[in-house]
Amino acid sequence: MNKIAILCSGGDVSGMNPAIKRFVEYSFEQGLKPYFVYGGFDGLIDNTIKEAGYSDVAGIIHRGGTKIYSARSTRFKEEKFRAIAAKNLRTLGIDKLVVLGGDGSFHGMELFFKEQNISFCGIPSTIDNDINGTQYCLGVDTALNVIKTATDNIRDTASSFKRAFVIEVMGRDCGYLALVSALTSGAEMCLIPEIPYDLDTIKKRFLREVKEGRNYFIAVVAEGLKNSQEIAQWFEKEIGFESRVTVLGHIQRGGNPTVRERLMAYQFTTYAIDALCSGQKDSVICYSNGAFESKSIKEITTKKYEIGEELLTLGKRLLQK
């Protein structure tokens, strides 16, 4: 029986557990013996690789995080440790690997494949949604829903007081989460690294709106700008509103996977196993314009992700109202 393994690398996301469940079930359906690598790339190096069965994935579909743990491995960045990782897989007779991870993990896998020729298929998994070649990464929908709930709650309190709330949203250098959150939560302001802004222009509009009766503000700011406190002070000084900063932080990674997330996990994993079974050696499953497609890892890693023009235009309009 051919053997296949799965691992999670980088930041954990909600949706990994449903993917792991589908992995076990679909592997069996395809006549493959499934294995879990516990603890990401460190698990490959330390040989924490175990055969998996149906009972391992019972009762996990609704849980955030990952049952098989994730890791950021500094050792995997060194060739000698990647060689140990490959040796461990070969000793167990595993020649196919499904990798759930972000941009960094895929750079690691590109090197690993070049050096060791072990077939892998990547499933984009990061709440930052910053992987080139795919419009969707696992974890994003759940994170957006967590942010939506938090922002709705903040709006309740904001509307009871004359205050400005600055909500800092994750995404590393990518403003996708902040932009979609701002558009879908009715924020008055959205600041992200991808859209230049002019505080003087925004000030004129806000002061006019205050005159017309506005008595609170919600501003969504991407963590990549590193200026949430500064924006809060700007509200106090320039707009004359008492302000509060809420850094949403790690709550954005948790929460039980949404329906969309579970379906995406199911489909991503099915496509990943199909890609490996059809002989593809170094691919990533991407989701664009409503369809799944397998792309070579080179296509993914040679360019930086950019938010789609249509969304960016909506973000710009929000600033120019």
Please give the positions annotated as active site: 128
Residue among 128 and 194 whose Cβ is closer to ligand ATP = 128
Residue among 73 and 252 whose Cβ is closer to ligand ATP = 73
User: Phi/psi zone of residue 252: left (φ > 0), alpha (ψ -120 to 50 degrees), beta?
Assistant: alpha
By CB under 6 A, tell whether 298 contacts ligand ATP: no
Stretch in the footprint of ligand ATP (CB under 6 A) among 7-15, 45-53, 185-193, 307-315: 7-15
By CB under 6 A, tell whether 269 contacts ligand ATP: no
Closest CA to 251 of 156, 134, 154: 154
- Residues 39-98 binding ligand ATP (CB under 6 A) are 41, 72-73, 76-77
CA–CA separation, 308 and 254 (whole Å)? 26
Q: What are phi and psi of 71, to 5 degrees?
A: -160, 160
By CB under 6 A, tell whether 282 contacts ligand ATP: no
* Nearest residue to ligand ATP, scored by beta-carbon proximity: 104
Query: What angle, rounded to 10 degrees, do the helices at 309-320 and 199-211 form?
Result: 60
Half-sphere exposure of 254 (CA within 13 A, CB side): 5
Question: DSSP 3-state assignment of 104?
Answer: helix
Sign of the torsion formed by the C-alpha atoms of 306, 309, 311 and 315: positive
Q: How many residues are present in the chain? A: 321
Residue among 185 and 283 whose Cβ is closer to ligand ATP = 283
Residue among 123 and 231 whose Cβ is closer to ligand ATP = 123
Q: Given candidates 27, 105, 142, 252, which one binds ligand ATP under the rule CB under 6 A? A: 105
- Could you tell me the smallest distance in angstroms from the CB atom of residue 252 to ligand ATP? 11
Stretch in the footprint of ligand ATP (CB under 6 A) among 50-58, 99-107, 115-123, 157-165: 99-107
By CB under 6 A, tell whether 104 contacts ligand ATP: yes
Angle formed at CA 146 by CA 143 and CA 150, multiple of 5 degrees: 140
Q: What are phi and psi of 145, to 5 degrees?
A: -70, -35
CA–CA separation, 219 and 167 (whole Å)? 6
Residue among 10 and 315 whose Cβ is closer to ligand ATP = 10
By CB under 6 A, tell whether 111 contacts ligand ATP: yes
* Residues found near ligand ATP in the complex (CB under 6 A): 9-11, 41, 72-73, 76-77, 101-105, 107-108, 111, 126, 128
